[in-house]
Amino acid sequence: MDSDRASGDLSDKEIAYSDPSASWERPEQAVLPLLHEAMSRANYIREEEVREIARKTSLSPSDVLGIGTFYQFFSFHPSGSHVIRPCLTNPCLNNGGKKLFRSLSKQLGIGIEETTSDGLFTLRPAQCLGQCAEGPSLMIDEDVYLNVTPESLPEILSRYRSTSPTICPVPSPIGEPIRGKTVVFNALSSPVTLEMDAYLEKGGYNALKKALSSMSPDAVIDEIRLSGLGGRGGADYSTGAKLSAVKKHDGIKYVVANADEGEPGTFKDRYIMERDPHSLIEGMILAGYAVGANLGYIYLRAEYPGSWRILEKALSEARQRGFLGKGIMGSGFSYDIRLYRGAGAYICGEESSLINSLEGRRGLPRNKPPRITDVGLWGRPTDVQNVETLANLPPIILKGGEWYRSLGDEATPGTKLFCLSGHIAKPGLYEVPFGMSLREVIMVLGGGIPNGRKLKAILPAGSASRLLLPEHLDISLDYPSVTLAGSFLGSASVIVLDDSTCMVDLAYWMSAFSHHESCGQCTPCRDGTEDCYEILDQIVHGQGKPGMFDLLSSIGSYMMESSICGLGKSAPSVPLSSLEYFRDEWMSHVEKHVCPAGVCPMVPDGDRLFSIRRSSEWIPEGIVEGEGQDED
Amino acid sequence: MVKVFVNGVEVEVDATSTILKAAEKAGVAIPTFCYHPRMDPAGSCRICAVELEDSKRVVMSCVTPVAEGMRILTESAKVADARKTNLELLLLHHPLDCPVCDCGGECPLQNMSFAYGASDSRFESHRNDEVEDLKSDVLVFNSNRCILCGKCVRICDEVQDVHAIGFINRGFDTVIGPPLGKKLDCEFCGDCLEVCPTGAITDKFVRYQYRPWQLEKTKTTCTYCASGCQMNVETEKEAIIRVTSSEGEGPNEGSICAIGRFGFSHVQSTERLDKPYARSFSRLVPTEWDSVIPEIAERIRKIAGTGPDRIATLVSPRITLEDAYLIQGFTRRVLRSNFIDSGARYGFMNAAFPIARATGTLRPMVDHQDLLKAKVILVIGADPTAESNITGLFLKRAIRKEKARMYYVGSESVSITARAKEHIRVLPGGEGLFAWVLSEEIAGEESSRHPEFLAKKEDLFKSFNVDPQAYTKLVQDLRESPTGVIITGRVFHRIQSASDAMESLLRMTNALGWVEKEGCGILPLPEVGNDLGVLMMGATHEWLPGLLDSQDPENKKKWEATWGEPLSYGKGGGLKEILEGIKSGAIKGLISFGENPLTHFSPNSEVREILSKLDLLVSVDLFQTSLSDQAHFLLPAASSYERSGHVVSVEGFVQALNPAMTYWGESLTDGEIVSRLAECMGVPFATRSTGEVSKEIFTLMPDLSPSTRNGDHFMGPTGNLILPTIVNQPPHKADRKTVMKRMASRAENWKSAITPIQPEIISGEGDFVFALNKSLFHSGKMTLLDPSLMKMESSAFVRINRQTAKKLKIKKNENVLIENSYGSCILPVELTSGVTENELQVPYHFDSPDLMGLFPGEINYSGTCSTVTMLRTRVTLKKIE
């Protein structure tokens, strides 16, 4: 037995931490921050660090390891000085990502989870870096690179080969600003971050001033309800109703901003956080005031180090100016916001997984009921809202719910940030009033399909949505209409696919993504994603049989019916809708063993890009079995 | 309450019930993998799907609450389809190695596949093919067979609160095992093995050695500690293969500790005595019962004929009520002696005697259910997990789930101290003083407190390092909490002032008003399986059966009437008086039933010499022991796996032992041996079979009729669990009304301040206090012969404080010399922060002569009950260069 765990005492062999554990609500909440900190030292976590973290968090080493191995950004294998994470998800993969990965792998001479012999680079996969309009992208340590080509790679890599790399000195927004007209999100047009002074100059924190000085929490909720605003993470659940559901409880409550934007093709929240961070902060304070919370969390994905730096700065600005802290703006309302960093797990975008992760646990979704609005963080009522939803609150309070409602159509009021990516002339972020047609968005705003290609299909909400076809181009973009067309508008991450796309290949990579990101808790999703992936793997490698279609359908429908959370329920969307709409293409794969688009390898030993399976063996080199049971 | 329909059957259930519980109430079995009645529902396996008739939706019954009028279908086509697909998914990658899997034949996955016909597979994929984790000596982890129901991880976290195994990785790559790729290092309770629905976790000791359907199951009670665990001893051809439990059954609810689950091999080892032996010249030679019984009878007759109180008996507290009853009858009726004692004299008597004196009973005031209701729990000088494992589990549950505030008082840290609200460290020797000060503080009015109270309290803070703030918090919490329980254990019972300290605690509970309050009281942890029962049966000089004062003529008359013969035993006495009697020559014979007094004394003592004066020394035991060297007769005893009868648990349950195998060799039970002797001596007992004796005991003492908790248990048709019905049979706890009456008269003595308890003077010299403690992996000394338990803990080691080790530059596993004027020994060290800086802890089981040699030869009898409590001695510590 680990006798130290029993006593709760600290060892004399303290590792010099700046001790992030001190500031968290409960000791175990420090586990992710401590693991991040350990990672920052050597790009992997050593055994004595696991034990040290266990002691600091009152968890057992088994608990710490269970948590650590759940998240992609933590590694327990010795690693190189720099970790390269190429985005291995659509749309990056479809936009040259495969070629880039092959070239990267060749230039370094290593595959996934391997380290170069000089100990300089380790290659690890990334599942969507949220740079979809400017892909293919990759991340080296905490630096993000856009539009990377095999040709530009050597220069990028050489920066890290020098002894004193000076990279990413100032936090600034990554990539191009929002395109086109804006109504609500004007600040996103700026190439730079709207910092405190600039934000104030444009009327920032006036909504908060208005709410605190002249509106009751109920009045705030009423205004939001009037606006018709719904959850912009994709569920479109009435924000007003959610706020009321939390407000009705007594006692401690929380507001959590879901900044774990992980849906392939989605990058809108990053734009808000990097260009207009105070709109999120002000929105969170308003939500906190409305529900009666005194603490808010921003749960930010690890793939957004730039957002992290910008938000950290913005939060400290807000604290300095008295927008956060005790008695905000002379009112009796006190509120603070803490940043909590995820560690590479798409599932944590699901609100109950997010809450578990925020409590310092494996990010497994919870069974519902109870709802998070009743039993959330630490068992307390919690308002989990998407970043975009929260950023909408200040303008709604300032200009009124009526104003916001008038922006959209009858079915869905307001506007929505659309992320356009894939085979489109002008990829990027757009603010679109609900009710605009899909055709207008793609053909007019997005400039249509480039290179003289034809539109083949559209994914309106990344990997979670069923395909839309060119025949759907005239549907109105609001939540009910897209649902009526058999798909799902979700977070409006529109991935456009032209006729060079193989729809089986698309299904294959989307199933690889689901497989990689399934938390593994429930059988339908854990085994279902595995089997869908394996079936597709056989099909794209020329091993398909027609009988597999039925199996795929039955596994898919079982997943949709019985999975715990949205991941399992939506994972079959792309493969099943692709099979439904493009059956001929699929038949060609399994009957003639020909990929009509010429994309799939179609031979058993065809290039697999990388092995999807993670290693269950984690024993670091050099540790002999049986030794080191104790740190002494 | 709401009304729901399960397959058309209307049932009324609590509005907070899940569908699964409603179905259970309707008598409908729903298959489950991840559901476990003692854990929070996970809702992850998705096999318990049911269809809601109205919405046609499929929901998971284990996590979905019922609603008024809900119409639930548990076996609709849709449900069957969902289950079939679920199983198909699981079986795609699960290896089809059932023929060589230990779980084959009792595998819920196998049973369910059979039930739902998911036999044909529409897709060929890879079968999981990871290497097994064979590093542990106890459990084998086979991740290929794992269906990730997570019950093993959850039982380790939620029930055992040990957190030794966990999920590693995520998604399809998730595996379960110990952390860091290391060998499993835990309490080895084996609960994970028990709950695993497949062969993913198997028992390494018996791997590939059995097929489950060929095993014969015997339900019986474990006698190692007094938790009273109900277990299934599974045998094949008279050999025990393994010990399992039934979920929800018994006071243990399906959990068993390492000792109970894995510690049975020694009883079927060749070391076991299989024949009686008689000393011929200087050698013990095998003989036959037919010759040995008359021979012993004759020698007894010779000695006992000279008068009463000439022969003494010693009784192991591991024997049954029936055997103890017969032995005390034999002693008092046939030997005409009141020199009778049991292993309780080494400690537990210090709790039992004051409690029986104050309350009139040894049935506990509180049980494990009361722990779950208690707001404050004071644990003093006890390691519940090691001493009474199930008490430990309930204590953990009380803290984790019921948010009880636990205060731990003791010098060392044990596994539960980390969960204490306050760990009040009292340096060794101050425990009695602590109990007195606390009791005086709570019981006494400020004006009437003992004049030395403040000085003594100061002494506690100054000399024994008690944290005044923590102490004040405890006092306040005890005063203000509506309900509370005090748990005392081995260390507390073995301090020299233990009987007075227990009296202080009794006085305090009285002052707190706990005597009247249901759910409040003291729960003393017995050291061995039937400590309570053996005392209740009068296997001690103080009491006749039924805790009646043995010297009271009225009580004597009662039993004379029952037994139909006059009783002419003398004053008698316990271990102290027995040894003195032998020394003076007044006692000429000693019959020891499973006891070996030699191991409880220092080799420097004169005990061996004293015993050599005996004209007759009979040792009845499972094995040859150091006592055998001096014995004139060595008789083979049947083990608790071979006996029937009853034992009394820490909670007061009277539970049955059932023989799982026939007697080893020619061994007999202690009861049968004394019955044969009695018959041979011409005074045959009227009742002699265990069944007859049980009947006599239960007729004469009806409150001892068998009782247990969670008696019923049954399985559904697909191998799934159906919740056990909670049955709490005859009252097992003390009757509060009677106790109140008795306490009221005892409380007369407590009106004025009672004499302070002096701090303990620890023998020996040196800066360190050397103490013997109880291990999680051994029970007494017998288990040192158990090969399985020896794999978990094989030799003595000394636990020393980390800081101390640093100062003395001692590293883990290095040998140290422990020495005082009485003796010395060399032991390897284990470092911990769990003991105070000047304390050394050694598991007492390994008390070899050189270890016991650290104690003074002079025998020190302590307290009201003249107990012999070898607990601690002062020593010096040196690193061996």
State the pLDDT at residue B674. Answer: 96
Q: How many angstroms separate the Cα of A295 from the Cα of each of A248, A389, B290?
A: 17, 18, 84
CA distance B155 to chain A (A): 14
Q: Would residue B112 count as lying in a domain?
A: no
**Claim to verify: residue B550 and residue B693 sit in the same structural domain:** yes
Q: Is A561–B82 a contact, with Cβ atoms under 8 angstroms apart? A: yes
CA B85/CA B82 separation, integer angstroms: 5
Residues B375 and B486 in one domain: yes
Within an 8 Å CB–CB cutoff, is residue A23 touching chain B?
no
Chain A residue with the nearest C-alpha to that of B129? A616
The answer to whether the CB atoms of A60 and B413 lie below 8 A apart is no
Nearest C-alpha in A relative to B793: A1
Instruction: Check CB contact of A543 with chain B, cutoff 8 Å.
Output: no
- Give A616→chain B minimum CA distance, Å: 7
What is the least distance, in Å, from the CA of A3 to any CA of chain B?
Answer: 6
Same domain, B575 and B641: yes
For residue A413, cis peptide bond before it (omega within 30 degrees of 0): no
Using 50 as the pLDDT threshold, list the residues of chain B that sit under it. 718-719
* pTM for the model: 0.92
pLDDT at A1: 39
Cβ atoms of B431 and B501 closer than 8 Å = yes
Would you say the C-alpha torsion B814, B818, B823, B827 has a positive or negative sign? negative
**A512 and A539 Cβ atoms separated by less than 8 Å:** no
Dist. CA B418–CA B837, nearest whole Å: 18
Domain CATH code at residue B858: 2.40.40.20
Please spell the DSSP secondary structure of B598-649, one letter per residue. GGGS-TTSSHHHHHTT-SEEEEEESS--TTTTT-SEEEEB--TTT--EEEE-
Closest-CA residue of chain A to B836: A7
Say yes or no: B322 and B356 in one domain: no
DSSP H or E stretch at residue B655: strand B654-657
Q: Which residues of A touch B47 (CB under 8 A)?
A: 523
Are A186 and A177 contacting, i.e. CB atoms less than 8 angstroms apart? no
Q: Is residue B628 part of a domain?
A: yes
Query: Is residue B55 packed enough to be buried (19+ CB in 10 Å), middle (13-18) or exposed (0-12)?
Result: exposed
Residue A312, φ and ψ in degrees, nearest 5: -55, -45
Rounded to 10°, the helix B431-443/B453-463 angle is 140
Residue with tokens 């990267």: A104
Residues B724 and B713 sit within 8 Å (Cβ to Cβ) = yes
Q: Which residue in the set A7, A515, A629 is minimally distant from B171, CB to CB?
A: A515
Beta-carbon contacts of residue A75 (< 8 Å; ≥ 6 apart): A39, A43, A44, A45, A122, A124
DSSP one-letter string for A488-551 = --TT-EEEEEETT--HHHHHHHHHHHHHHH--S-SHHHHHHHHHHHHHHHHHHTT---THHHHH
**B573 and B493: one domain?**
no
Q: How far apart are CA A270 and CA A193, in angstroms?
A: 12
Chain B CB within 8 Å of residue A569 CB: no
* Cβ pair A522:B417 closer than 8 A: no
β-pair type (B376-380, B405-409): parallel
Report CA dihedral (A476, A479, A484, A490) to the nearest 10 degrees.
110
Residue B784 falls inside a structural domain: yes
**Cα B123 to Cα B135: distance, rounded to the nearest angstrom:** 34
**Res B119: pLDDT:** 60
Residue A521's Cα: distance from chain center in Å?
19
Residue B62 sits in a domain whose CATH number is: 3.10.20.740
A–B interface: beta-carbon pairs under 8 A: 202
Cβ of A523 and B47 within 8 Å? Answer: yes
| CA contacts within 13 A on the Cβ side of B555 | 12
Cβ–Cβ contact A48 with B under 8 A: no
Q: Whole-angstrom Cα distance, residue A490 to residue A492?
A: 5
Determine, yes or no, domain membership for B226.
no
B744 and B780 part of one domain: no
Split at pLDDT 50, 70, 90, the class of A171 is: low
Helix (H) or strand (E) holding B83: helix B77-93
Count how many domains chain B has: 4
Is B268 within the bounds of a domain?
Answer: no
| End-of-domain residue from the set B91, B112, B133 | B91
From edge to edge, which strands make up the β-sheet containing A82-86? A121-123, A82-86, A138-140, A143-145
Identify the domain boundary among B91, B109, B124: B91
> Do B332 and B380 fall within a single domain?
no
Return mean pLDDT, chain A: 90
Q: Which of B86, B180, B812 is closest, CB to CB, to A65? A: B180
Contact A296, A336 (CB under 8 A): yes
Residue range A104-137, pLDDT digits in tens: 999 999 988 889 999 999 999 899 999 999 989 9
Domain of B390 in residue numbering reads as 349-525+736-751
Q: Is A617 on the interface with B (CB under 8 A)?
A: yes
Q: Which of A76, A519, A527 to mutate to test the interface with B (most CBs of B within 10 A)?
A: A527
* Tokens read off for A161: 């080969």
**Main-chain dihedrals φ then ψ at residue B745, nearest 5 degrees:** -75, -35
Q: What is the per-residue pLDDT for B130? A: 84
ipTM: 0.91
**Nearest CB partner across the interface for A523, out of B46, B178, B832:** B46
A 342-401: CB under 8 A from B:
345, 362, 367, 369
* Structure tokens, B286: 């095998």
Per-residue confidence band for A612, with pLDDT thresholds at 50, 70 and 90: low
> Residue A529 and residue B93: Cβ atoms within 8 Å?
no
pLDDT at A18 over 50: no
Contact A518, A529 (CB under 8 A): yes
Does the residue B826 lie in any domain?
A: yes
Establish if A627 touches chain B: CB-CB under 8 angstroms: no
Residue B324, in any domain of the structure:
yes
Q: How confident is the model at residue A8 (pLDDT cuts 50, 70, 90)?
A: very low
- Are B591 and B514 in the same domain? no
Contact B515, B507 (CB under 8 A): no
Min Cα distance B463 → chain A (Å) is 23
* Residue A562 sits at the chain B interface (C-beta within 8 Å): yes
Residue B555, helix vs strand vs coil = helix
pLDDT at A616: 43
Percentage of the residues of chain A whose pLDDT score is greater than 90: 82
Whether the Cβ atoms of residue B636 and residue B667 lie closer than 8 Å to each other: yes
Residues B689 and B837 in one domain: no
Domain identity same for B654 and B776: no
The answer to whether residues B540 and B656 belong to one domain is: yes
Q: Which of B751, B779, B812 is the last residue of a domain?
A: B751
**Which residues on chain B are in Cβ contact (under 8 Å) with A524?**
46, 85-86, 89
Residue B213 domain-assigned (yes or no): no
Specify whether B331 is located in the same domain as B416.
no
Residue B100 phi, psi (nearest 5):
-110, 15
Cβ contact, residue pair B179, A50, below 8 Å: yes
When pLDDT is cut at 50, 70 and 90, the band that residue A11 belongs to is very low
Which pLDDT score, from 0 to 100, does residue A304 have? 94
